[in-house]
A and B are shown apart, each in its own frame.
Chain A
Amino acid sequence: MDWSALFLSLKLSTATMLLLLPCGLWAGRALAWRRFRGKALLEALLALPLVLPPTVLGFYLLLAMGGNSPLGQWYRSLFGHTLAFSFDGLLLASMIFNLPFAILPMQRAFESITPEIRGAAMCCGMSRWRQFVRIEFPLAWPGIVSALVLIFAHTLGEFGVVLMVGGSIPGETRTIAISIYDRVQSFETTAAGVMSAVLLAISLTAISLSYALGRRLESRHTRV
């Protein structure tokens, strides 16, 4: 059992989840209620990671983060090492890769709040913050939690992008999925089996939670 890989995966998943929460809330809410030019294109771009092969996405991210890119050079001038093949680079790639998992469920959750409910909140004289805290968030929270769970589970199991952008540096970029692959390559089947079982258990729990919350969100709005 590669504890450092499991710990790294959990750290990466948690960080991705927490950093994407505000982004998802803001973008999901805006996409749910606002109409603007190019909205369809933006939505398509945000959903692209769902259909793009992880290696393709990983390839472009590697190019964008490499020492020759403006981003890579800027990062190196600040921190003294490349963004690619570092935990920071992995986190950034993970966030981009998980954008659809953050935004889509939250967008659906906010969309399910009717214009009348939002109008009623405004007519009640609530401040924007109070509208969000008392009305929007409680009504959307199952969708929000569902998004967080999906991000967490998805990051935990991601392989292609991690391999392309992070490689397999122990303690820095070797996540549990990479570690399993390495063990299989070196015929350590038992260790690979244990780690696979752990990943399976965590993923199953997370996805079950997500479905249960999704159902709860649905019933909350159809009951009325």
Chain B
Amino acid sequence: MRSAAASNQGTLVSESPSATTAVFHARFEQVAPIPLAAEITCHGGELLALVGPSGSGKSTLLRSIAGLYQPEQGRVVCNDETWLDTIANIHLPTSRRRIGMVFQNYALFPHLSALENVLEGMDVPTAATARERALELLHRVHLDGLAARRPAQLSGGQQQRVAMARALARNPHILLLDEPFSAVDRATREKLYVELADLRRDLPMPVILVTHDLDEATMLADRMTILSHGRTIQTGPPLVIRRHPANIEVARLIGLKNLFSGVIIAHQPSAGHTLIGWNGQHLKVHLRQDFPPGTPITWGLPTTDVLLMPLDHDSQGNLDNPVSGRIAKIVTLGETVHIQVHADETDGARLFLSVSHHIARRYALAEGQQLALRLRGEHIHLMPADDSPRRTRLTASESAVNSPA
């Protein structure tokens, strides 16, 4: 079996000429019961992560693509084939959409063996070559020798691999993964991350991964789309979104804790920075001439870019902004110490910083202590002013330090 599989590795997913250039596009709109206003695009061979807190509509979106959920209005086009078009009254049933789907709890057929599960995923399970190809798929997901096992006799990670093999069995035009890592332990999950990253290099079709885990999306996805209340609010490469959230809502969803209101004072192109006012203080930030002076803005800064500054420190960076404050709270989580500081002269604005354990010890940090800090202006990110009420955040990113907010 092994040798047959090895020699056929290249034919795991048969290449169709259009597959590599295929573009998947979906748009959904609905008012109730679950509000939807979403648009996603995914290219062949690309992995797009749909990220949002629970209840943000990620799974509904995925189910709508699969045809397992019928939104009020929408359009789904895959490989120039229209699967859904509510205006033209096209509703292709799930079984006729060429999808491969891995469900959150895998949804393996409990009465069938691993091999039979994969066979059921094929168009013609009785074909002479079907069995060989199913074994080959099982080999590809590292399940050699487990073909005869029933799902109940497999570990969580093995079940996920069977689900993956089954999803790939019919050469899908799109692969849909619904939180495929949420039901396994951490060690298994990390192994499966590597396997997916390895597997997807050979996959010509678009892959859509639903997850609530920002780090998972950052590791695995080429691009990610942030979802909130059924709306797609920003799409881009994970690191770009994490550095440059489009608005305060995205900033909150990705767990940016230092978020404050400010106003543009002036642009100083010759010095390479913009001046913003923050509760009577002036901060130098990266030049952003797209906001005219006088514009109210929201600014954000990662907790790792609020630095402790020794009082005798004089070699500060060009865009460093000195701020002083008093430590309000210290919480230690493993190797990282999360510190909440009440900044002086800013109406008691709360700044959050995280430092490693040994730094905290060297500075002998304690609650009530007066601190000199610097805010790294080149990492201060400007966004349109917050004009909306507070919305939900990714709960996972909340930490104890943030709770008083």
Contacts and interface: CB of A to CB of B under 8 A. Distances in A.
Interface of A: 114, 116-117, 119-128, 134-135, 138-139, 220-221, 223-224
Interface of B: 63, 66-68, 93-96, 98-101, 103-105, 107-111, 120-121, 123, 151-152, 166-167, 169-170
Contacts of A114: 107
A122 B170 contact: no
A124 B110 contact: no
A119 B94 contact: yes
B152 A224 contact: yes
A122 to B, nearest CB: 4
A149 to B, nearest CB: 21
Contacts of B100: 123
Given A116-B105, A134-B120, A224-B151, A122 B94 contact: yes
B166 A223 contact: no
Given A126-B120, A224-B152, A120 B109 contact: yes
A123 B123 contact: no
A221 B110 contact: yes
A121 B67 CA distance: 13
A89 B99 CA distance: 52
21 contacts: A116-B107, A117-B107, A117-B109, A117-B110, A119-B66, A119-B68, A119-B103, A120-B101, A120-B103, A121-B109, A122-B95, A124-B120, A124-B166, A124-B169, A134-B109, A139-B109, A220-B111, A221-B110, A223-B110, A224-B110, A224-B152
Q: Which of B67, B96, B107, B123 has the most CB of A within 10 A?
A: B107
Nearest to A135: B109
Contacts of B108: 120, 224
Contact of B107 (A119, A125, A134): A119
Contact of B96 (A125, A220, A223): A125
Contacts of A221: 110
A223 B107 contact: no
Given A114-B107, A119-B103, 19 more contacts: A116-B105, A119-B101, A119-B107, A120-B108, A120-B109, A121-B120, A122-B93, A123-B68, A123-B95, A123-B99, A124-B95, A124-B169, A124-B170, A125-B121, A127-B95, A134-B120, A138-B111, A220-B110, A223-B110
A119 B63 CA distance: 9
Q: Which of A114, A119, A138 has the most CB of B within 10 A?
A: A119
A122 B63 CA distance: 12
A120 B357 CA distance: 47
Contacts of B99: 123
A138 B117 CA distance: 14
Nearest to A128: B95
Contacts of A223: 110, 152
Nearest to B68: A119
Contacts of B152: 223-224
B313 to A, nearest CB: 58
A139 B151 CA distance: 14
B95 A125 contact: yes
Contact of B103 (A116, A127, A138): A116
A114 B110 CA distance: 11
Nearest to A119: B68
A224 B159 CA distance: 10
A17 B66 CA distance: 39
Nearest to B69: A119
Nearest to B101: A123
Contacts of A126: 95, 120
A101 to B, nearest CB: 25
Contacts of B109: 117, 120-121, 134-135, 139
Nearest to A224: B110
A197 B98 CA distance: 60
Given A116-B105, A120-B101, A125 B111 contact: no
Nearest to A125: B95
Contacts of B110: 117, 139, 220-221, 223-224
A114 B68 CA distance: 13
A128 to B, nearest CB: 8
Contacts of B120: 121, 124, 126, 134-135
Nearest to B98: A125
Nearest to A117: B107
Contacts of B166: 120, 124
Contacts of B169: 124
A195 to B, nearest CB: 41
A35 to B, nearest CB: 13
A123 B66 contact: yes
A170 B379 CA distance: 97
Contacts of A119: 63, 66, 68, 94, 101, 103, 107
A33 B120 CA distance: 22
Q: Which 4 A-B pairs have the closest CB atoms?
A: A116-B107, A122-B94, A120-B107, A123-B101
A120 to B, nearest CB: 4
A128 B107 CA distance: 18
Nearest to A131: B95
A98 B66 CA distance: 40
A123 B170 CA distance: 10
A159 B103 CA distance: 51
Given A119-B94, A220-B110, A124 B151 contact: no
A116 B151 CA distance: 15
Q: Which of B103, B104, B169 has the most CB of A within 10 A?
A: B103
A126 to B, nearest CB: 6
A139 B111 contact: yes
A221 B111 CA distance: 9
A122 B170 CA distance: 12
A122 B103 CA distance: 12
